[in-house]
Amino acid sequence: MRTLVTGAAGFIGSTLVDRLLSDGHDVVGVDDFSGGGVVANLENARQHNRIGRPRFTLVNVDVGAPELAGIVAGSNPDVVFHLAAQVDLRASVSNPLFDARINVLGTVNVLEACRRAGVRRLVYAASGGSRYGAPTRLPVDETAHPNPLSPYAAAKVAGEMYVGAYAAMYGIAPICLALSNVFGPRQNPRGEAGVITVFGTKMISGHAVTVYGDGTSTRDYVYVDDVVDAFARAGRAPLTTVGTYNVGTGMQTTVADVHRLVAEALDVSSVPHFAETRTGELHAIALDATKAARELGWTPAVDLAEGVRRTMQWLRATLDPEPTRLVDA
């Protein structure tokens, strides 16, 4: 199968590239490295090219650029996985026009490229953590009405609506995966989007951890390998399978519990500093993924404690690849 992945050098995108190559597919990766993607994330993909027939190509281009249409047409993919996005909530609040340019106009440009190239299957990374707003009952399923409460959430839902419009007008067969809070290796340890890697980075470096709010807010944390499995299943699903699918565990975990799990995985003592809740953040969310289990055959396999352990193992190696050793004089 020929595939194209936008945001290919990012945290989730590069992990998806590895999975697609491992499954035997050809992959064209698109990334302009402006949103957190790094070349090192694609080392495994480059290694695939060294040991066999080259099946991975990287194209450095903005998803909003006019050249994207020619790239999609030239690669003739069976499936386009659209993961490129601006994911920083605070950046969306401070600069909503920038957020919309990437998350709305970029998505429209991807859809136009798919339309012109005759691509039927598009898999879109939607935001399950923000699309439902503050639902009164958790876990929330896909029948709940979207209620975005931040510029980031509004832009991601707008992208989802454009996907639906292109499906109706041009016969594109889309699957939108509404992702809960994804975590795991390769998540930017110096960013703001992933609380687990942010906490881990602070603890490893010996700095105080800041918890926004009182520590009781909850999220649904899902491990990156499980998320990538959902993308892989969506990509090979029959074209009659379309719609929005939640990708989460259905379980709520407080920020305080996440702090404890990270400290335990690192075997450190850490007392958090509490700060005022940030604008646009929700108090609680968890996703009901029953529909994904029924129609895509997807269920999460890695529990939170094990995922945190794996992530901290990677983070230690990334931040301190050659730890200081004490030697006898």
Q: Which residues are catalytic?
A: 152
Q: Estimate to the nearest angstrom the gap between the alpha carbon of 176 and the chain centroid.
A: 12
What is the Cα–Cα distance from 121 to 29, expressed in whole angstroms?
Answer: 16
What is the secondary structure of 185-254 as a DSSP string? TTS-TTSSS-HHHHHHHHHHHTPPPEEESSS--EE-EEEHHHHHHHHHHHHHS-TT--EEEEES-S--EE
Residue 178, classed as helix, strand or coil, is: strand
Structure tokens at 300: 């999460």
Measured torsion, CA atoms of residues 267, 271, 276, 277, in degrees rounded to the nearest 10: 30
Give Dmax (Cα) for the chain: 75
What is the Cα–Cα distance from 315 to 318, expressed in whole angstroms?
Answer: 5
In this structure, what are the phi and psi dihedrals at residue 195, rounded to the nearest 5 degrees? -65, -30
Angstrom CA distances, 11 to 47, 95, 147, 198, stand at 18, 23, 26, 14
Radius of gyration of the chain from its Cα atoms, rounded to whole angstroms:
20
What is the Cα–Cα distance from 256 to 106, expressed in whole angstroms?
Answer: 36
Whether the Cβ atoms of residue 60 and residue 32 lie closer than 8 Å to each other = yes
What is the Cα–Cα distance from 159 to 64, expressed in whole angstroms?
Answer: 13
The secondary structure of residue 278, as a DSSP letter, is P
Q: Estimate to the nearest angstrom the gap between the alpha carbon of 303 and the chain centroid.
A: 17
Whether the Cβ atoms of residue 86 and residue 99 lie closer than 8 Å to each other = yes
* Strand 121-127 versus strand 79-82 pairing type: parallel
